[in-house]
Amino acid sequence: MATIQDVAKRAQVGVATVSRVLNDSGYVKAETKEKIQRAIKELNYTPNAVARNLYHRKTGIAALLVPEISHPYFAEFIDAAETALYSYGYQCMICNTWREQNYEAHYLELLKQQRVDGIITGVHTLDIDRYRLIDRPIVALDRQLGDNIPCVAVNHEKGGRMAAEALIRSGCRKVLQVTGQSHVSTPSNRRHEIFEQVMHENGIECINYISKWNRFSYTDFRDAALEIAEKYTDIDGFFATDMTAAALIHTLYEKGRRCPQDFSVVAYDGTYVSSLPYPSLTTIVQPVSELASSCVDLLMKLVRGEKPETMNIRLDVEYRQGSSTL
Amino acid sequence: MATIQDVAKRAQVGVATVSRVLNDSGYVKAETKEKIQRAIKELNYTPNAVARNLYHRKTGIAALLVPEISHPYFAEFIDAAETALYSYGYQCMICNTWREQNYEAHYLELLKQQRVDGIITGVHTLDIDRYRLIDRPIVALDRQLGDNIPCVAVNHEKGGRMAAEALIRSGCRKVLQVTGQSHVSTPSNRRHEIFEQVMHENGIECINYISKWNRFSYTDFRDAALEIAEKYTDIDGFFATDMTAAALIHTLYEKGRRCPQDFSVVAYDGTYVSSLPYPSLTTIVQPVSELASSCVDLLMKLVRGEKPETMNIRLDVEYRQGSSTL
């Protein structure tokens, strides 16, 4: 493979001159430039992108941190974010963080070391204090990481209210919602607060089942569904994310209960998983593609050194009627 | 942020000397080394990893090319590959290629430009001739890309035979299998050949439904399932990948048919999607994590300049009994 030295030799100029032409910086005589470009062509020289990025102090790489790549919500998010990054000429690096919180710290280190130009994080493991000290481009998906880091999320208040109203319309008298750990500061916790509030306003008993899993694998969702089905036999309405909602339908069907005759379900997220079960799930849909492109647009602004217009982007949710509610 | 110049200045040495210490190359007096290390510590200097990789002619990055990140099989593959790469100290770059075949070409260019040290490709868009000219580390998932590129796949012959036998045991008299485009040279086509052969040996009619989709979205699988359900009303056994199998169950239940009373289904892949439907799917399971770690182990060998022991790795498949066959 030809090197920059080979090009310089053939064009009978110095390496620095070739470098100026490659990086389009500094003055080079038209005649010399032409000679260099001819040499590049003749030698089939490909400029070493690492070196070029070093010069521009950019890597052309953004990292996505997610708890688990194969979870359908994060898989769809990554899919869309990669597409959006590509439209900016950016490569997409990904990082699972379910293994240990050190992975989150490791990637912050990469950012500090300029191995990536920016990070989009959908991760909740590290203490947010670790983020305060970093003056590099970071965008948070669905998490408050402090005043200096923009946060992109949906209108979870509206989502929680829609879910509650759907179960009320379906005639539920005692409902259960599956929530995450409440100590994490995420806008998505708001949907559970509103859900419970609307239920109480309507005189409906609401149980909060706190999920204990650290991982987002289907086995964990299935275990949770089994525990719920065995412990709470008199529930006639469930509110949970797509995966848990699908696992609940599966588990309760195995126990001979039928939906929506015996119980109603409203799912949250709207990934393809909500379309898989029979009956199909009534779902509050997060616009995952738009969330991803909003995160990427914001990150690219930060990479260019621009100030974002807002530190809190809230996108709308959508109600999709399925057959799991009346 | 401190630069290498700042370190050199504080340690009262030249930049080249600092660089030698950072890269652990060339002789530096112990006393000088200590002075430099003290300066690094005092200035909280982080060596620019891009520059360091440039020196070592390695990026520490491997790229995964998949048709669609959010497809559960590829999402699980990426998840496991990222974990395996991380254990080698490698970052994982990902690339969707469903958009156009230029994306595959673009990543081959990145490999050529040394922006990534190697590529694992699960993609079938570019003509394989494009791969012959590249003398850099590439590992193919489930595709024959030529004698010089190792291929990792499962024993699809065994998988196809197991699927056929499961439907025969379930009493099927007329079966349909959903196949991919046959012009692509992939070991996975073998399962369909064997499946058909076993059916014919047993005097069972077998229809091959060739999927037309370019994308791997659930809508496409659902459309295929609807077309199959309407066009082939007398089929009592289906063989398809997890997503299509789940879509078929959903579609046929909507039409009032019940599984396994009215029809049987065997799924292929064994992602979590095969556990979602009720009834749960009888499935031929590909060991996705092992496929991923085999690809990564092979790639790391190639990156180190070692020769792989074999150019064709074949892993075993597993039969998992569900409730979609008798």
Sign of CA dihedral B198, B199, B200, B206: negative
How far is residue A212 from each of residues A19, A176, A181, A277, B133, measured CA to CA in Å?
56, 16, 7, 24, 51
Q: How far is A7 from chain B (nearest CA, A)?
A: 16
Cβ-Cβ contacts under 8 Å, A280 against chain B:
250
Determine the residue type at A221.
F
Q: Between A46, A48, A94, which is nearest B92 by CB?
A: A94
Cβ-Cβ contacts under 8 Å, A96 against chain B:
79, 82-83, 86
Token pair for A325: 């509610």
Q: How far is A63 from chain B (nearest CA, A)?
A: 9
Torsion angle of alpha carbons B192, B194, B198, B204, nearest 10°? 20
Residue B50 banded pLDDT, cuts 50, 70, 90: low
- Asked if A217's CB is within 8 angstroms of B272's CB, the reply is yes
- Who wins on pLDDT, B105 or B286? B286
Summarised one tens digit per residue, pLDDT across range B242-268 is 999 999 999 999 999 999 999 999 999
The predicted pLDDT at position B269 comes to: 96
Q: How far is B273 from chain A (nearest CA, A)?
A: 8
Cβ pair B288, B262 in contact under 8 A = no
Per-residue pLDDT tens, chain A, 326 aa: give them. 577 788 889 999 988 888 778 766 678 888 898 888 888 878 877 665 555 555 566 888 999 998 888 899 999 999 999 989 988 889 899 988 765 556 677 778 778 777 889 999 988 666 777 777 777 899 999 988 888 899 999 999 999 999 999 999 999 999 999 997 766 678 888 999 999 999 999 999 999 999 875 556 788 889 999 999 999 999 999 999 999 999 999 999 999 999 999 999 999 999 999 999 999 999 999 999 999 999 999 999 999 899 999 999 999 999 999 999 99
Nearest CA among B206, B155, B151, B146 for reference residue B179 = B206
Q: How far is B61 from chain A (nearest CA, A)?
A: 9
Domains, chain B? 4-56 (1.10.260.40), 61-154+289-316 (3.40.50.2300), 156-286 (3.40.50.2300)
How far, in whole angstroms, is CA A94 from its chain's centroid?
11
Cβ-Cβ contacts under 8 Å, B94 against chain A:
78, 82, 92-94
Nearest CA among A51, A55, A118, A56 for reference residue A84 = A118
Q: How far is B47 from chain A (nearest CA, A)?
A: 7
The SS3 call for residue A150 is coil
How far is residue A41 from each of residues A54, A100, B15, B110, measured CA to CA in Å?
23, 48, 34, 18
- Helices and strands of chain A, counted as H and E runs: 12, 12
- Asked if A99's CB is within 8 angstroms of B82's CB, the reply is no
Touching B: A residues 85-114, CB under 8 Å: 86, 91-96, 99, 103, 109-110, 112-114
Confidence check: pLDDT of B180 > 90? no
Task: Tell me, yes or no, if A250 comes closer than 8 A to chain B by beta carbon.
Answer: yes
The predicted pLDDT at position B117 comes to: 92
Q: Mean of the pLDDT values across residues B81-106?
A: 80
Residue A232 sits at φ, ψ, to 5 deg, of -115, 85
The predicted pLDDT at position B274 comes to: 93
The predicted pLDDT at position B282 comes to: 98
d(CA A111, CA A8): 34
Q: What is the pTM of this model?
A: 0.83
Q: Between B109, B115, B246, which is nearest A50 by CB?
A: B115
Mean pLDDT estimate for chain B: 88
The predicted pLDDT at position A296 comes to: 96
Task: Tell me, yes or no, if A261 comes closer than 8 A to chain B by beta carbon.
Answer: no
The predicted pLDDT at position A239 comes to: 98
Confidence check: pLDDT of B55 > 60? no
Q: Between B50, B86, B277, which is nearest A114 by CB?
A: B50
Put residue A303 in one of left, alpha, beta given phi > 0 → left and psi -120 to 50 → alpha: alpha
What ipTM goes with this model? 0.81
How many other CB atoms sit within 10 Å of the CB of residue A304?
10
Q: How far is B116 from chain A (nearest CA, A)?
A: 9
DSSP states along B253-278: HHTT--TTTT-EEEEEE--GGGGSSS
Q: Between A86, A94, A113, which is nearest B49 by CB?
A: A113
Nearest CA among B158, B159, B199, B156 for reference residue B176 = B199
- Asked if A275's CB is within 8 angstroms of B218's CB, the reply is yes
The predicted pLDDT at position A182 comes to: 63
How many other CB atoms sit within 10 Å of the CB of residue A229?
20
d(CA B235, CA B172): 8
Q: Between A69, A76, A86, which is nearest B82 by CB?
A: A69
Confidence check: pLDDT of B52 > 60? no
Cβ-Cβ contacts under 8 Å, B50 against chain A:
50, 53-54, 59, 114-115
Q: Mean of the pLDDT values across residues B26-52?
A: 77
